[in-house]
Amino acid sequence: MSDLRNPTLEFEPTLEDEQPASAGTSDDAHLSRRTFLKAASVVSAGSAVGFPALAQPGRGLPEQARQITLQVNGATHPLTIDTRTTLLDALRENLDLTGTKKGCDHGQCGSCTVLVDGRRVNACLTLACTAEGAEVTTIEGLAHGEGIEGLHPVQAAFLEHDGYQCGYCTSGQICSAVAAIDELTKHSLSIVSWHSGQTDAPQFSDDEIRERMSGNLCRCGAYPNIVAAVRYAQTQPGSGLPKGARA
Ligand code: FES
Ligand code: FES
C-alpha cells in the first residue's frame, strides 16, 4: 500500500539491505540515524513543493491527492494536497503561514486556533479539504495595517497587558479571543451565562472570558494577563471579527 505521507516506504529495500547482523550495536544507531535523515529530506521536499514532486512521470497525481482552493486572509490559494492534510499543516507547510502554531496536534491545547467563516476551530482537527469554500482567517490576517498602529485591537491589548510570555500559545489565544468577543457581542450563551442568570445578554465578566477561552491553554500560565487583555480589548472599537472573516 502506498503511503504518501510516509515516503520512507521508498527506502524499505535499503533498510533491509542495511540491517545490522545483530541488534543493539553502534551500527544500529548509525544506520537508523542515516536512514532517518534520508527519509526526512524527502518528507521536507514533498512538503515544500507539494504532490507534483512525488508524482511519477506519466502516472499523474497519487490517488490521495486532490486539487483544492483555499481562501485565506482574503487571498486565493490553489493547492494540490493529500486529502488527509490538516488545515494546520496546509497553512504552515504549504502556505508558509507559520503564525498558527502546532502544540499538541490533538485538539487539546488550542494553539492552532484559526477562524473559519468567523468561527474558531482547531486547525489540527480540521481537514484542509473541508475548508474549501470558506474564509479562513489566521493571526496574519487580523491586523489592518503595518506597525503597532495597524494591529487588531485584540493584538494591541495583548501587547498592552503582557498577555504572553513565550508567545507560543498567543496566536491561538488572540484568534480565540476575537471570536469570543464576537460571540458575546451577539449574546451567544455559555454555561457561565446560565449559572449567572444572564441568559438575555451575557456580560463580559472575567468568568465569561475564562469559560470562553478555556480551550486555549497557556503553558507559561499567563492567564491573569490574558483575561485582562480580553476584558480591555472588548471595550475597544473594532475588537470583533475583522472585515472579510465572514460568519
Ligand atoms: S495543536 Fe491543535 S489543539 Fe493543540
Ligand atoms: S505564553 Fe507561553 S504558552 Fe502561553
Give 167-212 pLDDT, tens digit per residue: 999 999 999 999 999 999 999 999 999 999 999 899 999 999 999 9
How far apart, in whole angstroms, are the C-alpha atoms of residue 71 and residue 221?
Answer: 34
Give the highest mean pLDDT range of 11-20, 30-39, 48-57, 190-199.
Answer: 190-199
215 lines ligand 1 (CB under 6 A): no
Q: Is residue 25 part of a domain?
A: yes
Q: Is there a single domain that holds both residue 100 and residue 184?
A: yes
Q: Which ligand is nearest to the CA of 163?
A: 2
Looking at residues 2-8, what average pLDDT do you find? Answer: 38
State the distance from the centre of ligand 2 to the C-alpha of 216, rounded, in angstroms.
10
158 burial type by CB count under 10 A (0-12 exposed, 13-18 middle, 19+ buried):
buried
Share of the chain above pLDDT 70, in %: 76
Q: Which atom of ligand 1 is nearest to the CA of 103?
A: 1
Is residue 159 within 6 Å of ligand 2 at its C-beta? Answer: no
**Distance from Cα 5 to the centre of ligand 1, integer Å:** 20
Relative to beta strand 113-116, strand 135-137 is antiparallel
Statement to judge: residues 30 and 103 lie in one domain: no
Rounded to the nearest whole angstrom, what is the distance from the C-alpha of residue 197 to the centroid of ligand 2?
33
Q: Which secondary structure element, helix H or strand E, spans residue 71, and what is its range?
A: strand 65-72
C-beta 164 within 6 A of ligand 2 = yes
Q: Is the CB of 102 under 6 A from ligand 1?
A: yes
Residue 14: pLDDT band by 50, 70, 90 thresholds?
very low
Residue 60 lies in a domain: no
pTM over 0.85: no
pLDDT of residue 60: 72
Which atom of ligand 2 lies at the shortest distance from residue 221's CA?
4
Q: pLDDT by residue (tens digit) across 56-95? A: 666 777 788 999 999 999 999 999 999 999 999 999 999 9
Q: Quick one: average pLDDT of 128-142? A: 97
pLDDT at 44 over 90: no
Residues 188 and 70 in one domain: yes
Mean predicted lDDT score pLDDT of the chain: 83
In this predicted structure, the answer to whether residue 1 has a pLDDT above a threshold of 80 is: no
Question: Domain of 31?
Answer: 7-49
Is residue 86 located within the same domain as residue 13? no
Ligand nearest to the CA of 109: 1
Q: Are residues 158 and 220 in the same domain?
A: yes
Residues 143 and 97 both lie in one domain: yes
Q: To the nearest 10°, report the CA torsion of 27, 30, 33, 34.
A: -100
Residue 227 has pLDDT above 60, yes or no: yes
Q: Is the CB of 166 under 6 A from ligand 2?
A: yes
Does ligand 2 lie within 6 Å of residue 223's CB atom? Answer: no
